[in-house]
């Protein structure tokens, strides 16, 4: 199948290197993933507080978190060159294999989060004499968010640094 105009545009967006300095190294990508994880946790916690708690105070936190979260999501997608966002026909064989590996690892991590969440909800119910449903709904919302974002976080941590251009090294050595 041939690439559509949408495919070509998304490929160009995901491979735009203007912001590459932000995610050029593994350390910077770890910082991006960690910050994105924290913003996701704050946003999900605020959403849970807005929906299940009294008042609309947490809604302000959602508004504050949203813009940086969207920007970081774009940076993470750019760091992976659209591994998870591009259609399969726009990826080469190596990228398709890497996407499968990322998804499989994210799936295993999410499985263990579900196991821990089920254990935690049960423990909460036993220790506090609260009905199990009091813990289950917020827990499910949190695990759903983790399930949704986990492939992006895993891909952001697994992506390799771009190869160094040997022509640039010659300038460093006085050539």
Q: Which domain holds residue 35?
A: 5-167
Asked if residue 34 belongs to a domain, the reply is yes
Q: pLDDT tens-digit profile of 137-160?
A: 888 899 999 999 999 999 999 998
Report the b/e string of 133-164 with b at 16+ CB within 10 A: eebbebbebbbebbbebbbbbbbbbebeeeee
* Whole-angstrom distance, CA of residue 173 vs CA of residue 155: 34
Asked if residue 116 belongs to a domain, the reply is yes
* Whole-angstrom distance, CA of residue 103 vs CA of residue 61: 30
* Cβ atoms of residues 8 and 87 within 8 Å: no
Q: Residues 6 or more apart from 159 whose CB is under 8 A from it?
A: 29, 79, 80, 83
Domain tally, the chain? 1
Asked if residue 58 belongs to a domain, the reply is yes
pLDDT surpasses 70 at 123: yes
* Whole-angstrom distance, CA of residue 156 vs CA of residue 99: 11
Structure-token match 């090294």, residue found: 169
Q: What is the pTM of this model?
A: 0.85
DSSP string, 28-70: HHHHHHHHHHHHHHHHHHHHHHHHHSSSSHHHHHHHHHHHHHH
Q: pLDDT tens-digit profile of 68-106?
A: 999 999 999 999 999 999 999 999 999 999 999 999 999
């Amino acid at each position: 199948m041939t690439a559509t105009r949408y495919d070509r545009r998304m490929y160009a967006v995901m491979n735009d290197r203007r912001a590459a300095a932000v995610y050029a190294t593994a350390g910077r990508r770890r910082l991006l993933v960690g910050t994105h994880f924290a913003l996701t946790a704050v946003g999900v916690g605020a959403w849970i507080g807005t929906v299940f708690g009294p008042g609309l105070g947490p809604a302000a936190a959602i508004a504050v978190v949203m813009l940086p979260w969207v920007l970081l999501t774009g940076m993470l997608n750019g760091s992976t060159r659209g591994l998870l966002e591009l259609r399969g026909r726009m990826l080469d064989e190596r990228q398709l294999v890497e996407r499968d590996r990322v998804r499989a690892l994210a799936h295993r991590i999410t499985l263990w989060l579900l196991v821990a969440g089920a254990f935690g909800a049960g423990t909460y119910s036993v220790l506090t004499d609260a009905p199990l449903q009091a813990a289950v709904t917020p827990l499910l919302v949190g695990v759903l968010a983790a399930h949704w974002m986990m492939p992006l976080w895993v891909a952001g941590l697994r992506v390799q640094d771009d190869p160094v251009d040997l022509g640039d090294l010659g300038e460093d050595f006085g050539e």
